[in-house]
Amino acid sequence: MPAFAPAAPDPRALRRAALAARKAGRHEEGERFELAAIDASVTDPVLIEAAAALVEGDLRAAEQLLRPRLRDDPFDVAAIRMMAELAGRLGRYRDAEALLRRALELAPAFRPARANLATVLHRQNRSVEALAELDRLVGDDPDNLSHANLRAAALGRIGEFDEAITLYEAVLAQAPDQPKVWMSYGHVLKTVGRTEEAITAYRRATAIRPEMGEVWWSLANLKTVRFSDEDVNAMTAALDRPGLSDDDRLHLHFALGKAHEDRRDAEPAFRHYAEGNAIRRRQLPYDSADTAEQVARAKAIYTPDFFAARTGWGCPAPDPIFILGMPRAGSTLVEQILASHSQVEGTMELPDIPAIAARIGAGETSVAELTRDQVRALGEEYLDRTRVQRKTDRPFFIDKLPNNWAHVGLIRLILPHARIVDARRHPLASCFSNFKQHFARGQSFTYGLADVGHYYASYVALMAHFDRVLPGHVHRIIYERLVDDTEAEIRALLAAMRLPFEEPCLRFWETERAVRTASSEQVRRPINREGLEPWKPFEPWLDPLKQALGDVLDTYPEVPALLTVA
C-alpha cells in the first residue's frame, strides 16, 4: 500500500491556536504557535515563488504574487514581511515600516521582522529607534554578527564613534572575510580622522572583493589617496567582469575618473565621470522643473507680509547654526571653523528640517495655515529631534545639511533666532565638483551637467529672494574670498554669528572632531589654493553646464538683478 505523507500544518489553524493561547494568558505557548504558523507559511509554493522573485530582483513578479496572497489571508506574517522587503527595495520605507510593525503586532517574537524593522528605521535616519529594536534582539541572540554590524552603523550615525569602532572590530575578529564590514569600519575610522587605518581597512576590502566598486570609490573619496598603476589596472579589469552590478560599475567609473584626474588625463577622467553619472541618473531621475516650481512656491509664500504677520512666532531658542548652500561649496570648511569655537558644537548633516517640511507638505495644513502654537511646536520638535546629535554642553550647534537652502523660510518661521550661513562657491567649481562626486544618498540633481547648473541657478534665485525679504538674516561667505583673505572672512563670520573672536578658529585644522563629508581630509589641513578651479582641465566638455547657469555664471559672485529660474 502506498505511504501517505502527513498533512502539512495549516498556518491559519496555528494562528487561531496562538490567539486562543494568548487570550488565556499562555503567552509562551501562543508564541510557539505564532512562529509555527510562520514556518508553515514559508513552505507554501506561492511564497517560495515570491521569495525566488525577490532574490532575482524581479520585484514586479514578487508583488503580483504577494498582493493576492495578502488579500486572501491578511494575517499571513511571512507574506507581510516579504511585502515589507519589497517596499524597502523600492525605497518606500514608511510602507515597509508599517508592514513590519503589523507583522510584529501579530507575532511579537518574529525576530527576522524585528531585525528588518531596525534596518528600515536606520535607513530613515531614525537610528535611535533602530537601536531600541536591536536592544530587544540582543537579549535573544547576543552573538548575531548581523545585528552587531547594524548596531555599529546606527551608533556611527548618531555620533557614538568609539563604540561603533569597538563593535566593528569585534565583528571582524569573528568574520574577517566580510568586505562590506571592512568598508563600514573604514568609514568610521575616516570620520574620526584615523585616515591611515581607514585606508588599511578599505584595502582589506579590495583584496577580498576587487570588483566591489564602492570601496574603490571610498578610497578615491578620501581625496588624498593617489591610485597606483596596479590600482587602475585592477579597477579596469573589474569593469570587464561579467555580471557586474550597476552599483559596482558606477562606483568604479567615479573612482577611475579620480585616478585619471590626479594624473592630469582630462579626457579619460571626464569619460569615466560621465559614464558613472549616466548610470546613477538612470537610477535617480531628476527634473529641474520640480526644483524651479519649489522655488516659485517658496517665493510666493514667504513674503515680507507673511513674516510681519507672524512677528514673535516660533521657538525662541538661538541654539542652531545652519550652514547651507550647494554641496561641495565649502560648507564643511565653514563648519570646521565654527566648531573650533568654544561655544559651538559641530554635529553633521541633519535630516530633520527636510523631514518636518515633507510632513507639512504631505498634510492638510499648509505653512500659511499653521497656528502660532503649531509653529512654536515645530521649532521645539526640531530641537528635540536633534538633541541626540549633541555630545557637549556648548550653547550652539551646527546643522550643515546643504539642501536646507530650500527651507530657509521654514527655518526663519519656526526658529527665528537661528543663525544661517550661505556657503557659496564659483558656479563652475561647485557644479563640476558635484558632477564628479558620487553621493551615498540623494542629491539626484548632481548626475547631469545641465541638471546641476539649473539647480545652482534655482538656489541662487531663492537666496536672492530671502536677501530682499529678510535683509541681513543670512550671512553669505564666498569661498574664494575665504581663501584669499582668511582672517578677515573668519572675523566677519564670527561677528555675524554674534560670537566673540577666538584664535582657534584661525587654526581650525588643529581641531580634533569627527567629520563625515567628502571634505573630511581637506579640512584637517590649512586653507590653500589647491583645487580652486577644478573645472579648468574639463572646460571643453562643460557647455551644457554653462548654458544652464546662464547669467548666474557671468555675474558671480553678484546676483543678476532680474534673476529668474528656468
Q: For 200-211, what is each residue's pLDDT tens digit?
A: 999 999 999 999
Greatest mean pLDDT among 10-14, 212-216, 359-363 lies in 212-216
3-state secondary structure 87-107: HHHCCCHHHHHHHHHHHHHHC
| Ranges 100-109, 290-299, 527-536: which has the least confidence | 527-536
Which of the 8 DSSP states describes residue 504? G
302 compared with 534, residue with greater pLDDT: 302
The string of pLDDT tens digits covering residues 1-29 is 444 445 567 888 888 888 899 889 998 89
Number of C-alpha atoms within 13 angstroms, CB side, residue 202? 24
- pLDDT of 128 > 80? The answer is yes
User: What pLDDT, on the 0 to 100 scale, is given for residue 526?
Assistant: 72
User: What pLDDT, on the 0 to 100 scale, is given for residue 133?
Assistant: 92
| Nearest alpha carbon to residue 411 among 373, 442, 382 | 382
User: What pLDDT, on the 0 to 100 scale, is given for residue 193?
Assistant: 86
- pLDDT of 307 > 60? The answer is yes
Rounded to an integer, what is the distance from CA 74 to the centroid of its chain?
34
Neighbours of 417 (CB within 10 A): 14
- Per-residue pLDDT band for 441 (boundaries 50, 70, 90) equals confident
Owner of C-alpha cell 509653529? 375
348 compared with 431, residue with greater pLDDT: 431
| Ranges 229-238, 360-369, 436-445, 496-505: which has the least confidence | 360-369
| Ranges 92-101, 147-156, 300-309, 507-516: which has the least confidence | 507-516
Average pLDDT taken over every residue of the chain? 91
User: What pLDDT, on the 0 to 100 scale, is given for residue 273?
Assistant: 97
User: What pLDDT, on the 0 to 100 scale, is given for residue 256?
Assistant: 98
% of the chain residues with pLDDT over 90: 73
Q: Indicate the pTM of the whole model.
A: 0.83
User: What pLDDT, on the 0 to 100 scale, is given for residue 30?
Assistant: 86
Contacts of residue 387, defined as CB under 8 A and 6 or more positions apart, other chains included, come to none
User: What pLDDT, on the 0 to 100 scale, is given for residue 269?
Assistant: 97
> Can you read off the three cell numbers belonging to residue 246?
550597476
Are the C-beta atoms of 376 and 314 separated by less than 8 Å?
yes
Contacts of residue 373, defined as CB under 8 A and 6 or more positions apart, other chains included, come to none
Phi, psi (rounded to 5 degrees) for 240: -90, -5
The string of pLDDT tens digits covering residues 136-185 is 887 777 778 889 989 999 998 888 899 999 999 999 999 999 999 999 99
User: What pLDDT, on the 0 to 100 scale, is given for residue 566?
Assistant: 46
- Per-residue pLDDT band for 521 (boundaries 50, 70, 90) equals low
Are the C-beta atoms of 117 and 141 separated by less than 8 Å?
no
Owner of C-alpha cell 541662487? 460
Question: How far apart are alpha carbons 273 and 268 in whole angstroms?
Answer: 9
Q: Per-residue pLDDT averaged across 405-411, rounded?
A: 97
Contacts of residue 101, defined as CB under 8 A and 6 or more positions apart, other chains included, come to 117
What are the structural domains of the chain? 210-283 (no CATH), 300-427+464-529 (3.40.50.300)
Q: Is 345 strand, coil or helix? A: strand
User: What pLDDT, on the 0 to 100 scale, is given for residue 364?
Assistant: 64
Greatest mean pLDDT among 378-392, 420-434, 529-543 lies in 420-434
Question: How far apart are alpha carbons 375 and 409 in whole angstroms?
Answer: 12
376 compared with 7, residue with greater pLDDT: 376
| Nearest alpha carbon to residue 369 among 360, 356, 377, 358 | 360
Owner of C-alpha cell 510593525? 101
92 compared with 449, residue with greater pLDDT: 449
User: What pLDDT, on the 0 to 100 scale, is given for residue 224?
Assistant: 87
Which of the 8 DSSP states describes residue 327? T
Q: Per-residue pLDDT averaged across 277-294, rounded?
A: 93
Are the C-beta atoms of 161 and 188 separated by less than 8 Å?
yes
| Nearest alpha carbon to residue 298 among 528, 517, 437, 459 | 459
Q: Per-residue pLDDT averaged across 512-521, rounded?
A: 53
- Per-residue pLDDT band for 426 (boundaries 50, 70, 90) equals very high
Torsion of CA 303, 306, 312, 318, to 10 degrees: -40
Number of C-alpha atoms within 13 angstroms, CB side, residue 241? 19
- Per-residue pLDDT band for 520 (boundaries 50, 70, 90) equals very low
User: What pLDDT, on the 0 to 100 scale, is given for residue 562?
Assistant: 60
| Nearest alpha carbon to residue 469 among 308, 284, 230 | 308
Question: How far apart are alpha carbons 431 and 486 in whole angstroms?
Answer: 23
Contacts of residue 243, defined as CB under 8 A and 6 or more positions apart, other chains included, come to none
% of the chain residues with pLDDT over 70: 94
User: What pLDDT, on the 0 to 100 scale, is given for residue 1?
Assistant: 42
| Nearest alpha carbon to residue 185 among 219, 156, 209, 224 | 156
Residue type, 241: R
Q: Which helix (H) or strand (E) holds 424?
A: strand 419-424
Inter-residue long-range contacts of 301-307, CB under 8 Å, 24+ positions, other chains counted = 301/367, 301/368, 301/409, 302/408, 302/409, 302/412, 302/413, 302/465, 302/466, 302/469, 303/469, 304/469, 306/368, 307/412, 307/413, 307/469, 307/470
Are the C-beta atoms of 389 and 348 separated by less than 8 Å?
yes
- pLDDT of 513 > 60? The answer is no
User: What pLDDT, on the 0 to 100 scale, is given for residue 425?
Assistant: 96
Strands 344-348 and 474-478: unpaired
Angle at 564 between CA 559 and CA 566, to 5 degrees: 125
Question: How far apart are alpha carbons 187 and 473 in whole angstroms?
Answer: 36
> Can you read off the three cell numbers belonging to residue 245?
552590478
> Can you read off the three cell numbers belonging to residue 185?
569600519
> Can you read off the three cell numbers belonging to residue 378?
515645530
Are the C-beta atoms of 538 and 185 separated by less than 8 Å?
no
Angle at 363 between CA 90 and CA 454, to 5 degrees: 65
- pLDDT of 385 > 80? The answer is yes
